């Protein structure tokens, strides 16, 4: 008798599509200009001033965006950019090495001079593009990206600055296999995470479409399944003392249960081997206590 083996090859086809567009705008009322040690400095409201040491210290605004599951960002496309020149000349201070706090008055700060490779270029910094991708991540399998938005572009040779009055961009996304997500989730846990995501991303209006809920169950049902996010292990005499904490955690959306050491000792017979434990096989576990974790 002949036996035939059927080999099935599944090829994942990747497609590219766009998400957006998004528009950012800035005006001079959001910034404070000052002169320190002969250098110009610009500080923005709710903005950072992070760059490589020696590079021009320009304000930057970090923004998070949620993406659809099964996608990753390929590039950022600038669709339109409106720059307004600021009158006068500017010698932007180079980024300095952060000093330790508390400051030591006996140790004078070390001044880092301007990076000659950047300050000698007759082009706009940074790279004539005010939007930069700096981080990729995910939450419960849903992808996120963080971008850096620069409100100013600086020409160090001409000592000129342009404010980004408006920039419109979009993300070029490519499809990838869908990420695994939680199989179940407590109702309050999901709502807590949903609110946190909404408050942390720029594209809040797209959160409901991209951060979809897994099968939701009441928190009480999670407790009955022992599907807890927090387990408090204590002695029987301290159970009552930890009950308010356990209740508070449940109310905050973190299913919690209290397990006593007496229960663990009673359920542990010590007959299981290291190999059995490493395999996490329910058929070979020698004590009932560990079943709470499965």
Predicted confidence (pLDDT) at residue 105 exceeds the cutoff of 90 = no
Q: What confidence tier does 62 reach under pLDDT thresholds 50, 70, 90? A: very high
Average pLDDT, stretch 224-236?
75
Please state which CATH class domain 16-181 belongs to.
Answer: mainly beta
The pLDDT of residue 239 is 86
Enumerate the domain spans of the chain. 16-181, 218-293
Predicted confidence (pLDDT) at residue 87 exceeds the cutoff of 70 = yes
Predicted confidence (pLDDT) at residue 69 exceeds the cutoff of 50 = yes
The pLDDT of residue 97 is 84
The pLDDT of residue 168 is 96
Rounded percentage of the chain residues whose pLDDT exceeds 70: 79
The pLDDT of residue 197 is 92
The pLDDT of residue 31 is 94
Instruction: Render the burial of 9-20: b for 16+ CB within 10 Å, e for the rest.
Output: eeeeeeeeeebb
Residue 283 region by backbone torsions, left for phi larger than 0, else alpha for psi between -120 and 50, else beta: alpha
The pLDDT of residue 278 is 42
The pLDDT of residue 91 is 95
The pLDDT of residue 287 is 55
The pLDDT of residue 243 is 86
Pick the more confident residue, 193 or 215.
193
Model confidence over 179-188: pLDDT tens digits? 877 777 777 7
CA dist 205 and 214 (Å) reads: 20
Average pLDDT in the chain: 81
CA dist 265 and 246 (Å) reads: 22
**Beta strands at 160-175 and 16-24: parallel, antiparallel or unpaired:** antiparallel
**Contact at 8 Å (CB) between 234 and 261?**
yes
Task: Establish how many alpha carbons lie within 13 A of residue 217's alpha carbon, considering only the half-sphere containing its beta carbon.
Answer: 16
What is the residue-wise DSSP string for 205-219? GGHHHHS----EE-H
Average pLDDT, stretch 151-170?
95
Average pLDDT, stretch 24-42?
93
**Contact at 8 Å (CB) between 61 and 149?**
yes
Tracing tokens 């950047």 back to the chain, one arrives at 118
Average pLDDT, stretch 202-209?
94
Predicted confidence (pLDDT) at residue 99 exceeds the cutoff of 80 = no
Q: Does an H or E element contain 65, and which?
A: strand 61-66
Predicted confidence (pLDDT) at residue 230 exceeds the cutoff of 50 = yes
Average pLDDT, stretch 88-107?
83
Model confidence over 253-294: pLDDT tens digits? 677 778 888 877 776 665 554 444 444 444 544 555 555 554
The pLDDT of residue 3 is 46
What is the residue-wise DSSP string for 145-208? EEEEE-SEEEETTTTEEEEEEEEEEEEEEEE-PPPP--S-EEHHHHHHHHHHHHHH-S-GGGHH
């Amino acid at each position: 008798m002949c036996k035939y083996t059927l080999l099935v090859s599944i090829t994942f086809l990747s497609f590219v599509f766009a998400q957006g567009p998004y528009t950012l705008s800035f005006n001079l009322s959001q910034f404070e200009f000052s002169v320190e040690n002969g250098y110009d400095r610009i500080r923005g409201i709710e903005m950072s001033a992070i760059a490589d040491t020696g590079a021009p210290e320009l304000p930057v605004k970090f923004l998070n965006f949620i993406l659809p599951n099964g996608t990753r960002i390929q590039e950022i496309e600038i669709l339109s950019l409106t720059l307004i020149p600021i009158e006068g000349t500017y010698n932007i201070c180079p980024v300095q090495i952060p000093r330790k706090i508390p400051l030591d008055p006996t140790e004078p700060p070390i001044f880092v001079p301007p990076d000659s490779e950047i300050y000698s270029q007759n082009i706009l910094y940074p790279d004539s593009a005010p939007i930069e991708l700096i981080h990729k991540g995910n939450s419960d399998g849903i992808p996120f990206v963080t971008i850096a938005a620069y409100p100013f572009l600086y020409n160090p040779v001409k000592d000129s600055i342009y404010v980004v009055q408006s920039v419109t961009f979009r993300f070029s996304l490519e499809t990838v296999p869908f990420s695994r997500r939680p199989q179940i989730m407590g109702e309050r846990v999901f709502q807590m995470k949903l609110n946190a995501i909404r408050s942390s991303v720029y594209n809040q209006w797209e959160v409901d479409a991209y951060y979809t809920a897994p099968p939701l169950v009441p928190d009480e049902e999670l407790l009955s399944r022992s599907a807890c996010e927090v387990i408090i292990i204590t002695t029987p005499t301290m159970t009552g003392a930890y009950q308010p904490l356990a209740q508070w955690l449940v109310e905050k959306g973190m299913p919690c249960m209290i397990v006593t050491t007496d229960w663990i000792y009673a359920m542990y017979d010590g007959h299981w081997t290291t190999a059995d434990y490493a395999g996490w096989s329910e058929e070979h576990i020698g004590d009932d206590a560990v079943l709470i974790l499965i």
